[in-house]
Each structure stands twice: as structure tokens, then as C-alpha cells.
Chains A and B, each alone.
Chain A
Amino acid sequence: EPEVTQTPSHQVTQMGQEVILRCVPISNHLYFYWYRQILGQKVEFLVSFYNNEISEKSEIFDDQFSVERPDGSNFTLKIRSTKLEDSAMYFCASRRGTGGGNEQYFGPGTRLTVT
């Protein structure tokens, strides 16, 4: 069964460093998302991406964040200058859309630890 994959599973970085989190969505899906979950808190929406552009973003998704679909399979989240409060589990999700289903499928997550 197709699934969303994410790498790395765990990333440790120092404050101020840039990180890139990688995701491979399900191959025939058209809508892509990033969410995050700070330990003990709710899962929060960050950004949605469709037709090679950002379609919606939350207040969390400021200028330090960017997303890219560099080729036909990968979807990345970049944090330019990490802060301690960026420590969280980051989840990528994808959805087929356009008559193919509304269910969002989530990856296993990347645990980001900023020290």
C-alpha cells in the first residue's frame, strides 16, 4: 500500500542553523501539507501546497519557513534559522483530491530537536 515517507526520522541541530526536512508524498496525490506537533500539544497546520505553489499558510509559517517541490516526487520544508521553539515533530501529509478522495495520509514524522 502506498505511503508517505519522511527523512530523517530525527534531526538534531543547533540554534540558528538551517534544516531541511524531506517528504515523499504518495505518487498520484496533488495536495501536500506540513503540520507540526510540539510535545504534549495539538497537531498544528503549517502550510498547504498545490499546483506548485503555497495555497494556504498559518501564522506560524513566517519568513523563516519555506517549502519546495524540487522534482516530481520530493516535498521539502526548510527552516532558515532554527529557534529553540521550533523543536517539534514535523509531519508531512498528502491528499489525492479532485474526485480521488479527501483523506489525508500522514508520514511517520521527523523529530526536530534544536539545542
Chain B
Amino acid sequence: KQEVTQIPAALSVPEGENLVLNCSFTDSAIYNLQWFRQDPGKGLTSLLLIQSSQREQTSGRLNASLDKSSGRSTLYIAASQPGDSATYLCAVRLGLRDAGGTSYGKLTFGQGTILTVHP
């Protein structure tokens, strides 16, 4: 069974710092990995998706890397701003055929990292 863990559980940094959020998963036979942002009481906003064949993806100040063989991904946020304060979730999708048969795309989520960026 796929387990996804995120470290740290919470992070508080001053504005302007570069920071790294970590995600690890137990089953390396993934199809892709998605990073989301969740604001309090709100839905999930997709930030980046990395296919299993890719090593990294970039969007603005965000960069996500993937090391499938070691079961790890990192989300790098450059020059953090107070508006980046939110919970960041990592989610993995298993490969098209897992031990139990075909996966139709269900995501397995980590518990999230709560990020606070203070001015």
C-alpha cells in the first residue's frame, strides 16, 4: 500500500527566504506526482505535476524535483512571500498497472506541510 510522508509538518520563515518542502513515498512505481496548495477551509490548487519520466518541473518561483528510485520529491520555493502561506500537499498516482490491477488515477496524499511566511 502506498504511503506518502511530508516533512516538515510545519515551517515558519521570514519573508524572502528560499525553502524546501520534502515528500517521500514508499512505492516507487508511480505514474506521476502532483504538488497542491490548500488555503484554510478551501479547495486544492494544483501547483506542479511531474511525470515519472521527468526529473523536475518549474513554475515561476516554484521548482519541484523527483527522484523516483529513492521515493522522494522536493518542492523548492524561491524568495518566499507572505502570500505563500498555506498548506502544501504532495500526492502520488501509482503506475497504470499496480499489483492489484489497473489504476484509474487515484491520488494518495501526504499529510501536508503548513507554511507560514511572516513579513
Contact = CB atoms under 8 A, between A and B. Distances in A.
B44 A48 contact: no
A97 B36 CA distance: 19
Contacts of B49: 102-103
Contact of B107 (A45, A50, A107, A111): A45
Q: Which of A31, A44, A95, A106 has the most chain B CB within a 10 Å cutoff?
A: A106
Contact of B42 (A31, A97, A103, A109): A109
A97 B93 CA distance: 13
Nearest to B109: A43
B103 A56 contact: yes
B31 to A, nearest CB: 7
Given A42-B109, A43-B44, A43-B89, A106 B36 contact: yes
Interface string A31-75: 101010000011111001010000110100000000000000000
| Interface residues of chain B: helix, strand, loop or mixed (majority) | strand
A33 B105 contact: yes
Interface in B19-38: 31-32, 34, 36
A104 B42 contact: no
B84 to A, nearest CB: 19
Interface residues of B, number: 25
Nearest to A95: B105
B106 A33 contact: yes
Nearest to A97: B105
Given A43-B89, A55-B104, A104 B46 contact: yes
A104 B31 contact: no
Interface of B: 31-32, 34, 36, 41-46, 49, 51, 89, 91, 93, 103-112
Interface of A: 31, 33, 35, 41-45, 48, 50, 55-56, 58, 91, 95, 97, 102-109, 111
